[in-house]
Structures are given as C-alpha cells and as structure tokens.
Structure 1
Amino acid sequence: MEENKLTTREELKTYFETGKAPTQNQFSDLIDSLRHKEDGLTNKEIIYLANRLEAIENGFIGYVNYTTEDEEFPIVISSQDEEDQVIDAGKGNNFEGKKRYFAGNAPYTIKAKKFSTKNLRENEYYALRYEADPVYTYYNMMARLFGNTLPSIPDGFDFGPLKGKRFYFEISKRNYGQKINIVNTHIKFINKTEVFIEYMVYGGGNLWGHEYTSEDIVTDHYNIGDFLNFFYRADLRKTDKSIECRVYDEDTDLLLATGYLNANQNNINIPCNGGTDKTRNVRIECDYQNPTREVE
C-alpha cells in the first residue's frame, strides 16, 4: 500500500471473498488499515477527538495540583454506560491545570478513593477545594483540610453528582505552623415562609464548606478560621414578597448576620451581612420582609 494512501473498506472486503487467496501485500494492506492499541494519536486526531467530545458535551475534570511531590489522589467517575474511570489528580504536580474528559455519558457520579497523606510533615495539611455544581463560585466552593490531626479523605468520599459539565478539583499543601482541630457549630434552620429556601455555610479562610441544604446541620470546620459565612438561594420569581434571613447566636439570642432575598428574582448565592465568630449554637430564621422596614 502506498504511503499515506488507505485502502477503502470495500476493496479490503474483496480480498477475502469466497474462493480467493489473499496475498501477502493484501494482508499487509489490511493490517495497515487498522489501528493498533499501542498506536498514538496524531495531533490532528487529538484535536478532532477533543472537538468531538465538546460537541457531545461529555463531562470533564479540570484539576490543579499545587503540591510539590507526586501524590495519590484518585478520583472515580461513574457513568450510566461505561465502567468506572479513575483519574489520579496527584500525578504530575501541575500548576497550570489539566483537563480530562469522562468516558461514557451523563449522569456522572464522582467519588474518591482513599487519598494519600504520606508526604505530610509536622503542621502540614492538604487543602482541597472542589465544585461539582456550577451554582457555586470560586469564592464559596466546597473545601476541606485533611491529614495529620485531621481525618483523611476516605475511600468512597462522595463529591456528589455532576450537575454541570465540569468538575473542578484543586489541591495544595499548606503549613499552618500549628496543629489544627475540628470544632462544631450546631445550626438550626427555621423557614417561616412557603418558599423553598436553602442555605450554605462557608468556614473562614476558605478552608471548609457545606453544600446547600434546608436541614439542620452540625459543622465540622476548624479552630483556625472559626468564622462562618452564610449564603442563601431561593427562587422568588413568582412572588412579590421579599424575604429576610437572620442569623442568631442561639445561646444569647444576639443577631449576628442578615441576608435579603429579593422578590421577583431567582436569588442564588446571596451572602449575609455579617457572620459568626467562635459561635457553637446558631439559629437561622427566614421570614417575609416587613414592607415598612427599611433595608439596611
């Protein structure tokens, strides 16, 4: 077969018609027309494949690794029509980020295998930030510290279902100069309206986050950054009543923070004015805003 000239499928089939004896060159044409599993893709083929994946909207992970050694941070992607795919975000120690497409089609569920902590020295911790839901921004995505005095990321840790197209994963190693311990804040959520309202809690220093919920929770944030911020979301496009969500110290009934959800809008990631500082018991009350009350 001439170089760079492929024999068509139709012609290849004629070599093996009943009664024919394929020649050595014809067998060679057949082999050269196939792709061996060890063959690499050309740049043109890679570009075509990437464009194809974009066109059919496969999910993908965009990850950044700010650590300095090869680690093991295996992430398992499950889809509805392919075997589980494992992507190790600890290999390569990249600072500019990498992008890997998922096999199979949505919906995707993303979990972790047990993350390594073997390269941590005294007072060092891994800081993990991730986002599987595009409603979160870079400033309030989910976050965790792990290693040393804090629990590791266990086998089966659930990052949640991928609600958009991209799963973002970022990991770094930090030395805080001290041991870090978990502290707990009990949060009671009271919704006095007929509107479905959710809140999320974010720990000080971008170290810890809890996904949106409408339930009571107990945090497991850290004694460094023992400061909690609150965000809300509620779809008020079909109501002309605004809502006010107040955060109280449950032990003293002191008002700590207030957030406002505007009528006739889809309110997403609405921050509170204020937050908690070393508060162990918190009460959130959401109610329709008094129309005679001036919004601060």
Structure 2
Amino acid sequence: MEENKLTPRDQLKTYFETGKHPTQNQFSDLIDSLRHKEDVQTKKEMMIFLNQMAYIDNTFIYYSLNNVGDLEIQIVVTSSDEEDQVITMRDSTKMGTVRQYLLGSAPYTIKIKKITGGGDLKGTEYYSLGYQLSASYYIRRLFGNNLPAIPDGYDFGELNNYNIPIEIHKEDIQHKVSVVNTNIKFINKTEIPIQYRAYSQYWGDKYKTEDSVTDHYDVWDFLYLYYNADLREINQSIQCNVYDADLDTPLVAGVLYAGQSQDAWWGGQVEKVRNIRIECNYIINEN
C-alpha cells in the first residue's frame, strides 16, 4: 500500500469475501488501515480530533492550579455506565486552564483520591480550593499550613451540568487562620423538600437536609444561609426562621415564595453564633 494512503473500507471487505484467500499484501493493507493502541497521534490528528470535540456536548472538568509547586491532587470520577476515571491535577501555571473530558454519562460523583506534595507554605499562606457545581452553587475550602488537610474521599458533590471548574491557588491571608464550628439544627415543618447550605469567606458547604456542623474560619466568623426548594406547585409561601439556639432568640428570616423555584433562596446572615436552629414553615397569612 502506498505510504500514507489508506485502502478504502469497502475495498478491504472484498479481500475477505467467502471463497477468497487474502494475500500477504492484502493483510498488510488491513493492518495498516487500523490504529494500534500504542500508536501516537500526530499533532495534526490531535488538532482535528479536538476541533471535532468542540461540536459535541461532552461533560468535562476544567482546572487551573496556579503557583502550587509540587502539589498534586488525584480525583476519581464515577458514573453509572463507565469504569472510574482517575484524573491527576498538577500545577498548570504555564499551561493555563486544563480541560479533561469525562467518560460515561451524568450524574457524576467526584471525590478526592489522594493529595500529595505542597509543603512550601509560609506562616500565613494557604491553598485555596474552589469549585462550582452550578451557576449559583460555589464551594471553597482553605487547606495547608496549620489548617486540616482535605481528607481522602472528600466528596465534591454530584455533577449534572456539562462542566465543572476547579481552581486552586496559593493565598497569603496575612493572618493565621483557625477553624471555628457552628452547629446547625434544621427543622422542616412542611411537606415540601427544602435543602439549606451555609457559606462564608473561603468556605462553603453543600446543600443538606440533615443537621450539620460547619468548619469555617475565625477570620470571617459569619455565615450566609441559602435554601433550595421548588414551590411551583403550591400556593403558600414558606418562611425559614433562624434562631440563636442557646438564647432561643430570632436572628434572621428568609422567605420562599409560592409558585417559584430557586436553588439559592436568600436566608440571611448570622455572625459569631455557635449554635443555630433553622425552622421552615408555611406562612399562613401573607397579607
């Protein structure tokens, strides 16, 4: 076969029709027409492939690790119809944002398998991890130095969109940062599924329905509260009241309006409270 000229597929099939005896050259044509798993794609082939991928709705992770030295994070992506996919994220300062396509179909579960390296932090420097699960759902964590490491098995949350940005960089906070805890008790007195989440500077939690304990930071000892609920099928609004559980005094309240659905209903802000209670109930008289 002439170099770089492939035999057409229909012609290859004729070599193996019933009663025929393929020649050595014909077998060579067949082998040369296939791609071996050890073949290395040329730059041109890779560019053609990437251009084709741009027109396909593929789910992907895109990440940037800026000035993090030898820090490496391995994550495991799980879907229901493919084997687990392990992705190793390394410093991408020179490359910029790295895109990694995901195998299988959504929803995906993303967990940290292992974190290695990253021991060159100064006294008030920390690694900042941030990722976004939807347009209004952003989560952050600080780790390194005196702060607890992000544990193996840390669950990013379920990914249903077509992409998830992950960003890690080194941050000099100018203060020594410590963890503070706020206990959150959640009581939903309605039949409507309601989730809540707490968010603070450099810290954010996933949506939950169960009681929880925050591990936000003393330099920013406040919490923003949000709710996720679908009220399109009911004609009563819901109010979620937040109390100081130690003093049993009201702090803030958020209203979830009938006939609407949101994944980020605003619930108010609380500051320097160690125990809070959230109670959600229907608003009986809305006038």
User: Which residue in the other structure is 1:86 paired with?
Assistant: 86
Q: Hey, what does 2:191 align to over in structure 1?
A: 194
Which residue is 1:45 aligned to? Answer: 49
Residues 66 and 254 of structure 1: CA distance in aligned 2, closer, same or farther (over 3 Å): farther
Deviation at 1:11? 2.6
Q: Which amino acid aligns with 1:60?
A: F
Q: CA deviation at 1:246?
A: 1.6
Evaluate the alpha carbon distance shift between residue 42 and residue 281 of structure 1 in structure 2; reply closer, same or farther with a 3 A threshold. Answer: closer
Shift in Å, 1:291: 2.7
Identity %: 46
Name which of structure 1's ranges 242-251 and 63-72 shifts more when overlaid on structure 2. Answer: 63-72
Higher strand share: 2
Residue 98 of structure 2 aligns with an amino acid whose one-letter code is: K
Which residue pairs with 1:208 in the alignment? 203
* 8 Å contact kept, 2:66–2:91: no
Match in the other structure for 1:253 = 248
Q: CA deviation at 1:21?
A: 3.4
How far is 1:14 from its partner?
Answer: 4.6
- 1:49-198 to structure 2, matched below 5 A, reads 49-52=53-56, 54=57, 58-93=58-93, 96-116=96-116, 117-132=118-133, 134=134, 137=136, 140-198=137-195
CA deviations on 1:151-173 (whole Å, 9 max, x unpaired) are: 21222222133222222211111
Q: Is the 8 A contact 2:60 2:100 kept in 1?
A: yes
Asked if the contact 2:236/2:284 (under 8 Å) is kept, the reply is no
Report the counterpart of residue 285 of structure 1 in structure 2. Answer: 279
Q: In angstroms, what is the RMSD of aligned CA positions?
A: 2.5
On the 8 A contact 1:125/1:174 being kept in 2, the answer is: yes
- 1:270 is displaced (CA, Å) by 1.0
- The verdict on how the C-alpha distance between 1:78 and 1:179 changes in structure 2, with shifts beyond 3 A counting, is same
Deviations 1:74-115 (A, max 9, x none): 111123343322222224236852221112333422111222
Distance 1:141 1:160 in 2: 11
Query: Match of 1:263?
Result: 258
Residue pair 1:69, 1:93 contacting (<8 A) in 2 also: no
Q: How many angstroms does 1:212 deviate by?
A: 1.3
- SS of 1:196's partner is coil
TM-score normalised by L of structure 1 = 0.84
Cα–Cα, structure 1 residues 143 and 107, in superposed 2: closer, same or farther, change >3 Å?
Answer: same
1:22 aligns with 2:16: no
TM-score, scaled to structure 2: 0.86
Q: Give deviations 1:193-244, integer Å, cap 9, x for gaps.
A: 33222211112x2x11111112221111111211000001221112211111
Query: Do the aligned partners of 2:64 and 2:92 also contact (CA within 8 Å) in 1?
Result: no
8 Å contact from structure 1 (residues 65, 94) kept in 2:
no
- Comparing 113-122 with 237-246, greater Cα deviation is found at 113-122
CA–CA distance in 1 between the matches of 2:243 and 2:99? Answer: 43
For the 8 Å contact 1:65–1:95, the answer to whether it is kept is no
User: CA separation of 1:30/1:189 partners in 2, compared to 1, >3 Å: closer, same or farther?
Assistant: same
Counterparts in 2 of 1:149 and 1:68: CA distance versus 1, 3 Å: closer
For residue 3 of structure 1, report the CA deviation from its aligned partner: 5.4
- With over 3 angstroms needed to count, the CA separation of the structure-2 counterparts of 1:255 and 1:166, relative to structure 1, is same
Question: In 2, distance between residues paired with 1:268 and 1:96?
Answer: 31
Distance 2:189 2:95 in 1: 47
Q: Distance in 1 between matches of 2:154 and 2:286?
A: 48
For 2:263 and 2:217, the matched residues in 1 are separated by 26
Q: How many residues align?
A: 280
Residue segments in structure 1 that go unaligned for 5+ positions in a row: none
SS in 1 for 2:156: strand
Which range moved further: 77-86 or 181-190? 77-86
User: In the superposition, relative to structure 1, how do residues 143 and 97 fare at CA in structure 2: closer, same or farther (>3 Å)?
Assistant: same
* Deviation readout 1:9-55 (Å, 9 max, x if unpaired): 343345567545323xx455334322243321342233124434x2x
Instruction: Return 34-43 or 264-273, whichever deviates more.
Output: 34-43
